[in-house]
Structures are given as structure tokens and as C-alpha cells.
């Protein structure tokens, strides 16, 4: 038997063997015929990740086999002639989108009962396989986004080697920055007060072993990141160890920049020296004197930066980027947010069960850079809440990156005054109020809860934080500008205008009402509200149009109570 015949025989036997499975498993997928190119790539990602989770040496995607019965029915699909997006050849296009590429082999099997296409897929190894930015996994017989299953994602990461723990064979203790090592001793003593008196007696290697930065005296990638001299990034190549601070104006024009390399232990100080921190004012209830706040709590900025350092996927060769605008700071690191979502992190308030860079994260805990109990993110939210400032915004929508925005301004005076006045509010309520002030949606049951507590006003989707302070201090005029009048008031204005000056155009009505509608509505929302008011009056028979649809001329017919 020739090698080719032996290969064909193996594949026929493989098809027959896997068709005996009682149902599709998480590492085998049967399809009758060709799928769109995007779907094939997603299946390869899902199957590679599932094979890792199930400890399988390979995963399989078959075309030409009936999904439900596992009967071989044959397929006309030819992976060597089909095209991917942009008219690229299918297989190179799929390969280019797989990061990391687990490796897969495609064969055409001449099975006795029909032609079968087989994708033999290697399992993910230590990191999820993404396809053009998104990771997938099989759950039962269904393909789903891996982000929805953070435990599974964590398991994939935990089954690989930890990049940050690897020893740099070419590095020595002399490649570490003496200033950073001295700072590390100070921080270690804070974290371990019972050993503070002993730290001064340890030599550098003993100390760094105890701080879990070295491995038995050998320099790790973690040691170079946190404590390395300025030239140490060459020892980490091709990985990138760089933090870029960029100053921009309100029109997004770049004004200044600086790049920070190791030692990252000192990066927080360097960034703090760069970021401006002006004062802003708010007027609490019951006083004529404003309260001053700094734009930023530097602990919050440092915590956000240190999280970027701990969770950066250095193998993707990206930089940590900090962009400072006049009213906000935005921090971005490369790598998916492994816990899945912010709500889960805050609700659980517990250490993560896994880290991308476990060795690095542990060393940062030892050196007082990130929270020992894993509650740093929740503490960031609590700190902003105590300052009566907008909460951090985590944008996790861009695959392969985490973007954190810290506002340096008061977005809504009502929100700030309410937090100054109501220190009894729990964090969950404050998070929802923060979403309301930012115009973000909240669930129906959440709206009901806030409304019952007297914390929001307005009708969905035009909600606003309730200004209970305005009512208590007599600032009714300001309050009305925001909350508006009853709809009956606006309909009466329209009727009076039409009765006394009719026929009137839509432009006449707009000019009368636009300045009287609440300031929380934008111009388009105000015009929509006016249109609805007019239609209500038309349907009730109070007014009628004697012009055209495009150029209406409204005339009075009867009063509302006729």
C-alpha cells in the first residue's frame, strides 16, 4: 500500500469512527455542505479552544456528513477553489485570521458513500484561538463567543506556559535598575510589615527571590518589566514593553507625548508628573459655597495603569497607551478582559481565578502595585463614588483590548449633588445612576427600582437623575428648565397660538415651543416631541391642517375640554 493509499485509508477509518458518536461533541462538528467563509473560521476557533478544554489531541470539522444522523451524504465543497473575503483564496484567508494559528490540515476523503472534506485542527495551547479578533468555543453542540464563558477562557489560559514567568537566559542581576530595586524594597516592607526589619539585611538576590520577582536567582521577564534598566526591553524582544503618554486638546490634536519603558515599578510616578490635575467645583445642597475637587484621584489612575501592566498581552507586541484630554484620561492595554465583564468583577469582589500573566501579577501584589485581595477595580469605583465623580468607564467592545476612561469633570450636577447628599446609596445604585447621567440604557426592573427610590425622573429613554436638592433649596426655575412642564401645558400653548394667529405653520409652532421644552432634550428630540403634541391635538379634533402635508397650515377647531 502506498503512502497516499495509507493516508486515504486512515481518513476513511476516521470518518467511520467519529460518525459512530451518539451526537456531536464539543470537539467534533458535522456539516452537510459549505458554510460562508467567516463561519468556517469561527468553527476552527471554537473547535481548537474546545479541544484544549477537553484535552483532545485534535478537533475535527467535517463537510459532507448529515448533522443529525451522521450519515455520509457527500459534498461539492472544494476548500482549494473557494474564496474568502475580498476574493482571497479561502485557506490562506482563514489562516491569516487565526491568532494564534493552532495549525490545521485539510483533506478530501473519497469515502465509499460520498466525498467528505475534513479539517483536522490542533488544540489551542495556553491562549484562546481568535478569528479576526473574536474567540469562539463549543458549548454542547453550539458555537458561541468565548467572552460569555470566562471560566472556560481562564482554563485555556491556565493550560499554557506563563510568558511573564519565563527566565531570560541572557539577563543578569546587573540588568536591573538600582533605583527601582530600592523602591521595591520599600513597597515590599509595606505589604509585609512583619518582615520590614529584615528586608534591609537581605542582599538583592535574596530579596528579589522572596518578592517572587526572580526564580532561584535567575532573572525573569517579570523582573525586567518591573525593575529592568531602560535598555532592558531588548532582552524581551519581540515582545514590546512600553507605555506611551499622549497629551491632546479638545479637538484631538496632539500637543505632547512621552514614552516610558521599564522599570514599570516607577511608571506610576512618571505618569503622575505628566498628568495635569486641575480643580473643579460643585454646589452642594444648603450652602452658597462650592466644594472643590481635583479632576483625578491619582490612586485611581495608578490602579488603572497597574492593571494595564498586569494584564497586558505582551506577546501581541502592543503598547500601553495613556491619552490625556482636558477633561478625561483614557488608558488602553492589549489583551481581552479575562473576567468577562465589569459587573461580575464588582459583584464578586474577589481575586480573579486566573491571570494572563500570573507570575507578573503575583510579583505586583508582593510589591504593593495591585490589590492583594483582587478588589482593585471595585475600589476604583468606590473611590470615584466617594468623590461624587463619574465612575470609570470600561469599554470591552473592541476585540483584543481593554479601554478605561476616567472622567475629570462633572457630567451632571444633579448626580454630583445627589451623591454628596445621599451617602447612604449603595454602589449598585450609584452605578445605575452613573449610567443614567451618561445617557446609557438600564433594564426595566432597574428603572423601576430607581424610580421607586425617588432617584430618577423622566420617561424612558429620556431619564435623568432626580434633582431632589433643587426642590429643597428653592431652585425651581433651574429645575423646570431640566425637567419640563406637563404635556397639557404645551398643548395649551399650541392651541392658543393657532386660535389667536391661525392658520400657523410648523415653523411658527417650533419657534413658540423650542425654548420652553426641557434642556435635557436635544433639538431633534424637541422637534419630535412637538410633532407628537400636534398629532395628539389633530386626533382629538382640536386642530386641523388646511395646507399640504409638506407645508401644513394649522387652524383651530375646538378647545381641549369641548
State whether 276 and 321 are in the same domain. yes
Q: What DSSP assignment string belongs to 455-499?
A: -EES-TTS-EE--HHHHHHT-HHHHHHHH---HHHHHHHHHHHHH
- At 390, is the pLDDT very low, low, confident or very high (cuts 50, 70, 90)? very high
Residue 561 lies in a domain: no
CATH of the domain at 274: 3.30.565.60
Mean pLDDT across the chain, nearest whole number? 87
pLDDT in tens, 163-216: 999 999 999 999 999 999 999 999 999 999 999 889 989 999 999 999 999 999
Q: What is the pLDDT of residue 351?
A: 57
Alpha carbons 275 and 292: distance in angstroms, whole number: 19
State whether 251 and 386 are in the same domain. yes
Residue 45 CB neighbours (<10 A): 30
State whether 361 and 432 are in the same domain. no
Q: What is the pLDDT of residue 209?
A: 96
- At 488, is the pLDDT very low, low, confident or very high (cuts 50, 70, 90)? confident
Task: Indicate whether 479 pLDDT > 50.
Answer: no
- At 371, is the pLDDT very low, low, confident or very high (cuts 50, 70, 90)? confident
Residue 192 lies in a domain: yes
Angle at the Cα of 184 (from 181 to 190), degrees rounded to 5? Answer: 155
Q: What is the pLDDT of residue 562?
A: 42
CB-based burial label for 523 (10 Å; 0-12, 13-18, 19+): exposed
Residue 397 domain boundaries: 243-407
Task: Indicate whether 384 pLDDT > 70.
Answer: yes
State whether 14 and 154 are in the same domain. yes
pLDDT in tens, 35-58: 789 999 999 999 999 999 998 999
Q: What is the pLDDT of residue 432?
A: 94
Q: What DSSP assignment string belongs to 144-171?
A: EEGGG-HHHHHHHHHTS--GGG-B-TT-
The rounded percent of the chain whose pLDDT value lies above 90 is 53
State whether 7 and 117 are in the same domain. yes
State whether 228 and 271 are in the same domain. no
CATH of the domain at 27: 3.30.950
Mean pLDDT of 465-477: 57
Residue 223 lies in a domain: yes
Give pairs for 518-523: CB < 8 Å, separation 24+.
518/480, 518/481, 518/482, 518/483, 518/484, 519/481, 519/482, 520/458, 520/462, 520/464, 520/482, 520/483, 520/484, 521/462, 521/484
Cis before 157? omega within 30: no
Q: Considering 465, 482, 499, which residue would you say is the last residue of a domain?
A: 482
State whether 494 and 471 are in the same domain. no
State whether 92 and 154 are in the same domain. yes
| Structural domain count of the chain | 5
Alpha carbons 562 and 537: distance in angstroms, whole number: 12
- At 74, is the pLDDT very low, low, confident or very high (cuts 50, 70, 90)? very high
- At 449, is the pLDDT very low, low, confident or very high (cuts 50, 70, 90)? very high
Q: Considering 407, 431, 466, which residue would you say is the last residue of a domain?
A: 407
Nearest of 550, 542, 538, 539 to residue 507 by alpha carbon: 550
On whether the CB atoms of residues 114 and 62 are closer than 8 A, the answer is no
State whether 474 and 339 are in the same domain. no
Alpha carbons 332 and 240: distance in angstroms, whole number: 14
Q: What is the pLDDT of residue 291?
A: 72
State whether 48 and 96 are in the same domain. yes
Q: What DSSP assignment string belongs to 239-258?
A: S---EEEEEE-TTS-EEEEE
State whether 352 and 270 are in the same domain. yes
Residue 184 lies in a domain: yes
Q: What is the pLDDT of residue 536?
A: 85
Q: What DSSP assignment string belongs to 359-397?
A: HHHHHHHHTTSS-TTS-HHHHHHHHHHHTT-PPPEEE--
H or E element, residue 334? strand 328-334
- At 69, is the pLDDT very low, low, confident or very high (cuts 50, 70, 90)? confident
Q: Considering 103, 130, 160, which residue would you say is the last residue of a domain?
A: 160
Q: What is the pLDDT of residue 461?
A: 82
State whether 470 and 488 are in the same domain. no
In this prediction the pTM is 0.70
Task: Indicate whether 310 pLDDT > 60.
Answer: yes
Task: Indicate whether 274 pLDDT > 90.
Answer: yes
CB-based burial label for 40 (10 Å; 0-12, 13-18, 19+): buried
Inter-axis angle of helices 358-366 and 178-191, nearest 10: 70
Q: What is the pLDDT of residue 373?
A: 56
Q: What is the pLDDT of residue 473?
A: 46
Residue 562 lies in a domain: no
Q: What is the DSSP letter of 85?
A: G
CATH of the domain at 530: 1.10.10.10
Residue 376 lies in a domain: yes
Cα 504 off chain centre by: 50
Task: Indicate whether 287 pLDDT > 80.
Answer: no
pLDDT in tens, 95-151: 999 988 999 999 999 999 999 999 999 999 888 999 998 899 998 888 999 988 888
Task: Indicate whether 483 pLDDT > 50.
Answer: no
Q: What is the pLDDT of residue 125?
A: 87
On whether the CB atoms of residues 292 and 217 are closer than 8 A, the answer is no
Q: What is the DSSP letter of 544?
A: E
Amino acid at each position: 500500500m502506498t503512502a497516499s493509499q495509507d493516508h486515504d485509508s486512515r481518513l476513511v477509518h476516521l470518518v467511520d469512527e467519529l460518525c459512530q458518536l451518539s451526537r456531536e461533541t464539543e470537539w467534533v462538528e458535522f456539516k452537510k455542505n459549505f458554510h460562508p467563509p467567516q463561519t468556517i473560521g469561527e468553527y476552527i476557533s471554537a473547535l481548537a479552544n474546545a479541544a484544549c478544554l477537553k484535552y483532545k489531541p485534535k478537533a475535527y470539522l467535517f463537510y459532507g456528513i448529515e448533522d443529525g444522523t451522521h450519515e455520509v451524504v457527500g459534498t461539492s465543497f472544494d476548500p482549494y477553489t473557494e474564496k474568502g473575503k475580498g476574493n482571497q483564496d479561502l485557506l490562506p484567508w482563514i489562516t491569516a485570521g487565526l491568532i494564534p494559528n493552532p495549525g490545521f490540515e485539510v483533506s478530501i476523503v473519497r469515502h465509499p458513500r460520498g466525498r467528505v472534506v475534513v479539517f483536522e485542527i490542533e488544540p489551542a495551547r495556553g491562549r484562546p484561538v481568535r478569528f479576526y479578533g473574536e474567540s469562539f468555543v463549543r458549548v454542547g453542540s453550539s458555537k458561541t463567543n468565548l467572552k460569555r464563558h470566562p471560566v472556560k477562557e481562564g482554563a485555556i489560559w491556565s493550560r499554557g506556559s506563563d510568558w511573564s514567568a519565563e527566565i531570560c537566559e541572557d539577563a543578569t542581576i546587573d540588568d536591573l535598575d538600582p533605583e527601582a530595586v530600592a523602591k521595591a524594597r520599600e513597597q515590599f516592607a509595606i505589604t509585609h510589615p512583619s518582615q520590614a526589619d529584615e528586608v534591609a539585611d537581605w542582599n538583592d538576590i535574596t530579596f528579589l527571590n522572596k518578592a517572587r520577582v526572580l526564580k532561584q536567582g535567575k532573572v525573569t521577564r517579570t523582573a525586567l518589566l518591573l525593575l529592568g534598566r531602560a535598555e532592558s526591553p531588548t532582552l524581551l524582544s519581540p515582545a514590546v514593553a512600553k507605555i506611551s503618554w499622549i497629551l491632546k486638546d479638545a479637538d484631538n490634536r496632539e500637543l505632547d507625548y512621552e514614552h516610558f519603558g521599564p522599570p514599570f515599578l516607577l511608571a506610576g510616578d512618571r505618569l503622575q508628573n505628566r498628568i495635569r490635575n486641575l480643580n473643579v467645583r460643585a454646589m452642594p445642597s444648603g450652602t452658597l459655597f462650592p466644594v472643590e475637587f481635583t479632576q483625578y484621584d491619582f490612586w485611581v489612575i495608578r490602579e488603572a495603569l497597574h492593571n494595564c501592566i498586569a494584564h497586558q498581552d505582551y506577546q501581541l507586541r502592543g503598547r500601553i497607551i495613556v491619552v490625556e484630554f482636558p477633561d478625561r484620561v483614557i488608558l488602553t492595554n492589549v489583551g481581552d478582559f479575562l473576567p468577562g465583564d465589569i459587573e461580575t468583577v464588582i459583584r464578586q469582589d474577589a481575586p480573579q481565578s486566573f491571570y494572563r500573566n500570573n507570575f507578573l501579577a503575583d510579583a505586583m501584589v508582593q510589591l504593593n502595585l495591585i490589590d492583594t485581595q483582587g478588589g482593585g477595580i471595585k475600589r476604583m469605583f468606590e473611590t470615584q463614588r466617594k468623590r461624587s465623580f463619574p465612575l470609570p468607564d470600561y469599554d470591552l467592545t473592541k476585540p483584543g483590548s481593554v479601554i478605561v476612561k476616567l472622567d475629570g469633570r462633572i457630567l451632571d450636577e444633579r448626580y454630583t449633588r445627589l451623591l454628596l447628599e445621599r451617602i447612604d446609596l449603595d454602589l449598585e445604585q450609584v452605578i445605575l445612576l452613573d449610567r443614567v447621567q451618561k445617557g446609557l440604557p438600564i433594564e426595566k426592573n432597574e428603572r423601576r427600582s430607581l424610580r421607586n427610590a425617588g432617584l430618577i425622573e423622566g420617561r424612558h429613554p429620556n431619564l435623568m437623575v432626580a434633582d431632589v436638592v433643587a426642590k429643597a433649596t428653592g431652585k425651581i426655575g433651574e429645575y423646570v428648565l431640566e425637567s419640563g412642564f406637563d404635556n397639557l401645558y404645551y398643548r395649551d400653548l399650541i392651541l392658543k397660538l393657532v386660535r389667536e394667529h391661525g392658520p400657523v405653520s410648523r415653523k411658527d409652532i417650533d419657534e413658540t415651543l423650542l425654548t420652553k421644552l426641557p434642556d435635557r432634550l436635544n433639538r431633534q428630540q424637541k422637534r419630535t416631541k412637538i410633532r407628537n403634541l400636534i398629532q395628539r391635538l389633530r386626533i382629538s379634533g382640536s386642530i386641523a391642517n388646511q395646507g399640504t402635508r409638506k407645508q401644513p397650515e394649522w387652524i383651530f377647531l375646538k378647545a381641549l375640554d369641548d
